[in-house]
Amino acid sequence: MYKDLDPLLHSQLRLAIVSLLMVHEEVDFNQIKETTKATSGNISVQIKKLQDAGYIDVIKSFKNNYQNTSLKMTNKGIKAFEDYVQNLKQYIRTDK
Amino acid sequence: MYKDLDPLLHSQLRLAIVSLLMVHEEVDFNQIKETTKATSGNISVQIKKLQDAGYIDVIKSFKNNYQNTSLKMTNKGIKAFEDYVQNLKQYIRTDK
DNA sequence: AATATTTTGTTTATATTATAAACTAATTTA
DNA sequence: TAAATTAGTTTATAATATAAACAAAATATT
């Protein structure tokens, strides 16, 4: 019991980003900023970590003349999130 | 949405310790060591943090001539854990 | 038309946290 | 009585999160 929790997901901000992506398919930088209230720098760093791990795809484009950074879960990321949630549930079960 | 997760509980080892205490009433140092496979030093540090926060009571005694450190949740700790779980569920809901 | 401001991020520096290694003290065993 | 075991604590290091500083392009202002 108490399986290890993927440290890449067991971080408040990265978990919030992934959580958003699990329910919204595609989300851009500003939506994350608005939803999480985190700073750009913090978000930028955490996005890179998730990307390096292969958990998300980062799509850079232009929208209304401005650069736009948009994110999507990869299959690997979805699997990792599901495993994380599965493992986490052992820690927060309240039944004896 | 995405309420802050109590950083004292959002740590794998401290969460495991508290999780154990939520289902077992009283647990000692060695039981934690066996269940979590963590090192004594790490456990010792995390216990102190939980104690400093007033989340657990630490009861030191002697059992079979050896010192024994036993832990129990406080009411404050129980409340904090319940809040943490409540907040965490927002992050890991899978329904759209 | 220059310059100031805003948008959209990245890079770097610092503070916090987790973890392991080293240490302490008492007990038991050879 | 010396070595090994039990039960932890303290301290040093590695990893992580976060904020501050910076950059580059677009738009607004005077």
A94 interfaces chain B, CB cutoff of 8 Å: yes
Confidence of residue A36 (pLDDT cuts 50, 70, 90): very high
B34 interfaces chain A, CB cutoff of 8 Å: no
Distance from CA of B27 to the nearest CA of A (A): 14
pLDDT at A70: 95
Tokens of A68: 């736009």
Looking at residue B19, its amino acid is S
Per-residue pLDDT reduced to its tens digit, B47-70 = 999 999 999 999 999 999 999 999
Can you give the pTM of this predicted structure?
A: 0.92
Q: How far is the CA of A33 from the C1' of D23 (A)?
A: 20
On the question of pLDDT at A94 being above 90, the answer is no
pLDDT at B95: 67
Question: What does the alpha-carbon distance between residue A27 and residue B12 come to, in Å, rounded to a whole number?
Answer: 28
Per-residue pLDDT reduced to its tens digit, B23-38 = 999 999 999 999 999 9
On the question of pLDDT at A96 being above 60, the answer is no
Angle between helices B12-24 and B40-52 (to 10 degrees): 70
Question: What does the alpha-carbon distance between residue A91 and residue B12 come to, in Å, rounded to a whole number?
Answer: 9
Name the closest residue (CA) to the C1' of nucleotide D5.
B66
pLDDT at B2: 87
Q: Which of A91, A93, A95, A96 to mutate to test the interface with B (most CBs of B within 10 A)?
A: A91
A86 interfaces chain B, CB cutoff of 8 Å: no
Average of pLDDT values for B3-24?
94
Of B36, B84, B91, the CB nearest to A2: B36
Phi, psi of A48 (to 5 degrees): -60, -40
pLDDT at A93: 83
> Helix, strand, or coil here: A70?
strand
Per-residue pLDDT reduced to its tens digit, B71-90 = 999 999 999 999 999 999 99
Per-residue pLDDT reduced to its tens digit, A51-80 = 999 999 999 999 999 999 999 999 999 999
User: Are A78 and B5 spatial neighbours (Cβ–Cβ below 8 Å)?
Assistant: no
